[in-house]
Amino acid sequence: MIAWPNETDERRAGFNLDVPPNGYAWWYVDAISDDGSEGLTIIAFIGSVFSPYYKFARRDAPADPLNHCALNVALYHSAGKRWTMTERSRGRVARNLHSLLIGPSDLAWDRRALTININEVRAPIPGRIKGRVRVIPQFVTKNNFVLNTDGNHRWWPIAPRSRIEVTLEQPKLSWQGEAYLDCNAGDAPIETGFTHWEWARGALRDKTAILYEAERRDGSRVDLAITFDAQGNMERFTPPPLLPLPRSGWQVSRSARSETDARVIRTLEDSPFYARSMVATTLLGERVTLMHESLSLDRFKMPVVQAMLPFRMPRRK
């Protein structure tokens, strides 16, 4: 996908990176328009970590991640929210170092920008999301992180400071704004490594701040607090206290780091095991709006939750 410091690393990080049986990789984009009225997230999955079909396939034998791929698109705009995530099988997936095709949609990296061509159908309420998104990094980082002692869950904040150009035909939308791009990859199901995690990122005046926190299955924790400046320089900082936030509608617990108060501005996604929110906090002396995620992997494993997921995540052969 996006060039690493040398050729060996680039092969490992590209769209053709090795994803072993039961493993996963995803590329994540979020963005907010310059006027603050529009937002989106896009996630391209190989080995869709939250797929009930992939979880079922792993019950008796190792499962092929390429047989469980999806492009998740969520739009948050003035006319309401639109969301799509259709799973595709191996026969509808193609990839090389710089491109990834999943069904009728594709992603391509030309060493200057990531272009995402979207052609997806919503579920359970029919409707289409179709158009093009371009993510233009200010820089590409060389920093990547191992998230657990076994080394089988990894995170790369590829382009924490980016611009985005959104041009959609359905719905009719056109806007620009600030964006973020990263990648997570693992050699085992994500629920085997963690019980709960929270992640957040926010644009400060001249830096991007990222907070990555997770509770591992062995009881230890991941606690990362980092910033990237406009030149791509990374600095660690001491995170402020963790403040409780109101639970989501599905009672998913949420919390956020802040030097003063913290409040939920808007809950963007609310499911039985996951919540995405916009949260107002203070970091490094600045008021900042965070794109914030809370994930309960214990809840994700529950049979009743698995039975609910196909209604929002249909699978097409």
134 in a structural domain: yes
Domain range holding 297? 7-316
3-state secondary structure of 122: coil
The DSSP secondary structure of 61-124, one letter per residue, reads S---GGGSEEEEEEEEETTEEEEEEEEE-GGGEEE-SSEEEETTEEEEE-SS-EEEEEEEE-SS
Q: What was the pLDDT predicted at 110?
A: 87
pLDDT tens over the chain, length 317 residues: 333 334 344 434 589 999 999 999 999 999 999 998 999 999 999 999 999 999 999 998 999 999 999 999 999 987 789 999 999 999 999 999 999 999 999 999 987 899 999 999 997 788 999 999 999 999 999 899 999 988 899 999 999 999 999 999 999 999 999 999 999 999 999 999 999 999 999 999 999 999 999 999 999 999 999 999 999 999 999 999 999 999 999 999 999 999 999 999 999 999 999 999 999 999 999 999 999 999 999 999 999 999 999 998 999 97
238 in a structural domain: yes
State the total domains in the chain. 1
CATH number at residue 77: 2.40.370.10
2 in a structural domain: no
Q: What was the pLDDT predicted at 11?
A: 38
Q: What was the pLDDT predicted at 77?
A: 82
Decide if 106 contacts 99 (C-beta within 8 A). Answer: yes
3-state secondary structure of 190: helix
Q: What was the pLDDT predicted at 14?
A: 85
Using the structure block, give the residue that is written with the tokens 């003063």.
260
1 in a structural domain: no
